[in-house]
Structure 1
Amino acid sequence: MPAATQSAKGQDRRSRRNFRLLLVGETTSKLGTSVTSVLLPLVAVATLQASPFVMGVLTAAPWLPWLVIGLPAGAWVDRLPPRRVMLVCNAVSAAVFVSVPATWWLGFLSIGHLLAAALISGTASVFFSTAYSAYLPQLVPTADLMDRNAQLQAGDQAARVAGPGLGGLIAQTVGSVPGLLLDAASFVVSSLCLLAIRPEGPRPAPPPRRRLSREISDGLRFVVGDPWVRAVTAFGAAVNLAMAGFQAVQIVFLVRTVGVGSDTLGWLVSCGGLGGVLGGLVAGRLARRLGTARALLAIQFAASPFGLLAALAGPGPGLAFFVLGTTVMLAGIVACNVITVSFRQAYCPPALLGRVTATTLFLNYSTIPLGALLGGSLASLFGARSTMWAVTAALVAAGGFLLVGPLRGLRDLPGAPAGEAGAGA
């Protein structure tokens, strides 16, 4: 066998092994985070008797760092090896979630400690997510990004499905406060997997450092100035706005309007996660069959209208409307996310990828608290069912950002870096 062929096969095996380690580590970490999404509110309510206002602040706390440091985080990550950033973030997050049971055992746990834990872990998540998006293209060939992102998304959604049930079981068996140690352990597993990854070669030298404000403006200018990135970023922000409103009102809608009991509520909400797993599994196949641009449009306008069915939900057999609507809707959202993330990783210049990722996530996540506030306000004024109609209709309308962009009439999104534009930045 020629030496070049043996070398190529060795690189392929190493690439697959590296990705498997990343997949195992990330899925484990996401499972721990999903468990904590149940346990941390339980600690606040059952152990510390938090008020509804404090619960709202605790829910918003992990997202606030995106609004404060989301943009400079991209510039900082572009200056550093992404794996090192991810390892530091894992260590910080693990320490945070060990500190909560530790202070509880010592008798000093307070609401302030929980809020600080949520803020610090949210800050670590900002840097980790940015570095993670820049790290994946270093491990995976460009041609495989779609399939690998789809597998990562499927693992993420599977963790979201399993996490709440596991969190409830842990709370009943060992207690909600000690159960947070599981999340700390999940970050340790993620770090061990990262340490086991064998780099393909020396990392390219980082670009010369300039003023932080200039580097941030480079990322902003690329996102706003490039028609492709601008279109998918606006689309993502609009989807997050609608989905935040949906998630803010769905529990109230199911419990107070439809009359769902607590024994049924959990599996109804989990149906969306199952749809997300399905979306992650089929995204790559649809993109290859239809083309990435056509698939993005087809998935959005075929799947998002199913969300309107959720507003038709009623008692008994009427719950089928909610199950079908949320399952297909979430499958479409995850499939679209796989395509847009893969496009961004393949299209953006590597030297700008951290800043572009941070900028797009900053713009996308900034709509989440706004959507949640808007959904709650509309439900208070017009009722939960009317709000469900409004937010699911807004999800369908989000596809308009794709139609007014340069995607119409194309089979595929561009897959190569933006050449001269990126080099000039």
Structure 2
Amino acid sequence: MTTTGETGVRAPAWRGGFGRLWGAAVLSSFGDSLRTAALPLLAVTLTDRPLLIAAVTACGYLPWIVFGLLGGAVADRVDQRRAMWTVDALRGALVAAFAVAVALGHASIGLLIALAFTLTTLQTLFDNAATALLPALVDRDALGAANARLMTGQRIAGGLLGAPAVPLLLMAGAAAPFLADAATFLVAAALVASLRTPPPGKAPRPAGSTLRREIADGLRTLWHDRVLRGLCAATALCNIGMGALIATLVVLVTGWLDAGTTGYAVASTAYAAGSLAGGLGHGPVTARLGLTRAVLLAGLVQIGALVVMGSVRSLTVLAAALAVFGFMGMVWNVNTTTLMQRRTPADRLGRVASAFRTLAVAGAPVGALLGGAVATAWGPNTPALLTAAFFVLAVLALIPGRGRDVSVDAPDGDVTTAHVPR
């Protein structure tokens, strides 16, 4: 069921499957933010070696590079709903066991690294399954609004509510944030398990089909679609730049602007507020321009915001630029995900989504190292200008596919999305 808003963009009804999926996603995001904020704080109490502390964060990226494609192939083979609640139940049990270890004084830096790596490995299956499941819960025309509501809810729960809650939870003990995280996983698992969706109809796999061949098939699907290929290349380029910007933003604010930690908090809040506004206001932009042109506009506006960040020495201007950057970043993310869901045959959506994510995540650590090197060589404002250059390349990669919003059906009549009763 969908409703039509004032902008003419169809929106999913909250009742039924989408509302439960949204609740599970937002709860999981809240729990993830608790754990993400608490792990480094716990790590510094266990070791004074910066490399080991950084390894805890690095393990949040590595599994996507190693297992991301595999997670997508598995997501296309199985019942996505069952895969999601099983993974969340397992993650809840793992985090609960870790919380007990912390409470009993048995935590170690090695255990932290193992936990971070294992949870993200499981996430590669969960996230790809979630991307593939959404088109079965909402009408095709409501996918954009559904993605916007999911991303906005996750940003509110993870960006605005989760991190500030950690100091309060730590007052109850070092294990409290992890116990809360475990509880969110288990509740999210129950919500997903309650979805009344029948097992998806899977076409019989060809004789001799292997995970390797199925992964290759997903990569070919991504490569042969001009729009998706351009979006993937553009997103990978953007994430190299984003890695550089995020890794050095604190230096830009506290060093180049001399705004201190308060200034950094202002900058972070401005970006978060802009992202939330983008989640709520992407509809009118998309309704006027269409999906692909809205993504192109988002990239162009972000280039201007990045040039301002690296050129104007003012905290107020930086905050305004970050708010605009966050707004357009949400427009980019929502429409990119929607295009991928609408243009990919349903039986390959998990694999295409995994290829997209793997290529995107791979660029972030490279960009972080590049940003640090550029800031060291030419000053703390130059990574923002470097990021602008990567966004220029990204926009150029988008141009060949501009204006192609319609779904692309395979020659044999594959259906890009399936709507099932709830």
Normalising by structure 2, we get a TM-score of 0.89
**Structure 1 pair 53–186 and aligned structure 2 pair: CA distance change class (3 A):** same
Partner Cα distance (1:213, 1:169) in 2: 47
Q: CA deviation at 1:387?
A: 2.1
Cα displacement (A) at 1:348: 0.5
In structure 2, the residue matched to 1:252 is 251
State the identity %.
30
Counterparts of 2:265 and 2:141 in 1: how far apart (Å)?
38
Are 1:342 and 2:338 an aligned pair? yes
Deviations 1:268-325 (A, max 9, x none): 21221221111111222221222222222222212431122222464xxx21122111
Q: Partner of 2:398 in structure 1?
A: 402
Structure 1 portions without partners, runs of 5+: 1-11
SS where residue 366 of structure 1 aligns? Answer: helix
Letter in 2 for 1:166: A
Counterpart AA for 2:149:
Q
Alignment-mate amino acid for residue 129 of structure 1:
D
| Residue 177 of structure 1, CA deviation | 3.5
Structure 2 residue 409 is the aligned partner of structure 1 residue 417: yes
Q: How many Å apart are 1:380 and its aligned residue?
A: 2.4
1:243–1:395: 8 Å Cα contact kept in structure 2?
no
1:417 is matched by which residue type in structure 2?
D
Report the Cα distance in structure 1 between the residues aligned to 2:312 and 2:107, rounded to whole angstroms.
41
Corresponding position: 1:100 with 2:98: yes
- Name 2:43's counterpart in structure 1: 44
- Partner amino acid, structure 1, of 2:401: P
Q: Does 1:83 align with 2:81?
A: yes
Whether the aligned pair in 2 keeps the contact of 1:346 and 1:417 (CA below 8 Å) is no
Aligned partner letter, 1:406? G
Inter-CA distance 24–293: structure 2 relative to 1 (3 Å threshold): same
1:184-213 Cα offsets, whole Å, 9 max, x none, are 1111221121122222x4521343261222
Secondary structure of the equivalent of 1:384?
Answer: coil
Letter in 2 for 1:233: C
Q: Distance in 2 between matches of 1:260 and 1:306?
A: 19
Q: Which residue of 101, 113, 117 maps to 1:115?
A: 113
Q: Which residue of 2 aligns with 1:6?
A: none
**Preserved CA contact (<8 Å) 1:279 1:335:** yes
Q: Which residue of 2 aligns with 1:34?
A: 33
Alignment correspondent of 1:133: 131
Distance 2:319 2:392 in 1: 18
Partner secondary structure for residue 272 of structure 2 = helix
Structure 1 runs (4+) deviating above 6 angstroms are 12-15
Structure 2 runs not aligned, ≥5 long = 1-10, 416-422
Give CA deviations for 1:136-194 in whole Å, capped at 9, x if unaligned: 011111111011011111112212233222223433x2244422222111112211211
Matched, 1:197 2:195: yes
**Pairwise mapping of residues 359-398 of structure 1 onto structure 2 (< 5 A)?**
359-398=355-394
Post-superposition shift, 1:416? 4.4
Amino acid at match of 1:380: T
Distance 1:154 1:66, change over 3 A: same
Instruction: State the alpha-carbon separation in 2 of the partners of residues 79 and 239 from structure 1.
Output: 31
Look up the equivalent residue of 1:19 and give its one-letter code. F
User: Is structure 2 residue 227 aligned with structure 1 residue 228?
Assistant: yes
Describe how 1:6-17 pairs up with structure 2 within 5 A: 16-17=15-16
C-alpha distance in 1 between matches for 2:203 and 2:271: 41
Q: Is the 8 A contact 2:263 2:315 kept in 1?
A: no
Q: Counterpart of 2:61 in 1: which secondary structure? A: helix
1:173-188 pair list within 5 angstroms: 173-188=171-186
Distance in 2 (CA, whole Å) between partners of 1:249 and 1:176 is: 29
**Cα distance in structure 1, aligned partners of 2:317 and 2:163:** 22
Rounded Cα–Cα distance in structure 1 between residues aligned with 2:62 and 2:300:
31
Structure 1 contact 249–376 (Cα < 8 Å) conserved: yes
Greater mean deviation of Cα atoms: 236-245 or 255-264: 255-264
Change (3 A) 1:14 1:242: closer
Deviation, structure 1 residue 396: 4.0
SS state at 1:208 partner: coil
Give the C-alpha shift of residue 420 in structure 1. 4.2
The CA distance in 2 between the partners of 1:158 and 1:49, in whole Å, is 32
Using the TM superposition, name which of 78-87 and 160-169 deviates more: 160-169
Which has a greater percent of helix?
A: 1
Match of 1:148 among 146, 149, 169: 146
1:416 and 1:281, CA in 2 relative to 1: closer, same or farther beyond 3 A? farther
Specify the code of the residue in structure 2 equivalent to 1:379. A
Q: How do residues 273-312 of structure 1 correspond to structure 2 at under 5 angstroms?
A: 273-312=272-311
Q: TM-score, structure 1 length as denominator? A: 0.89
Q: What is the aligned residue count?
A: 402
| Alpha-carbon distance between aligned partners in 2 of 1:118 and 1:391, rounded to the nearest angstrom | 28
Distance 1:252 1:26, change over 3 A: same
Q: Give, in whole Å, the separation in 2 of the partners of 1:312 and 1:183.
A: 41
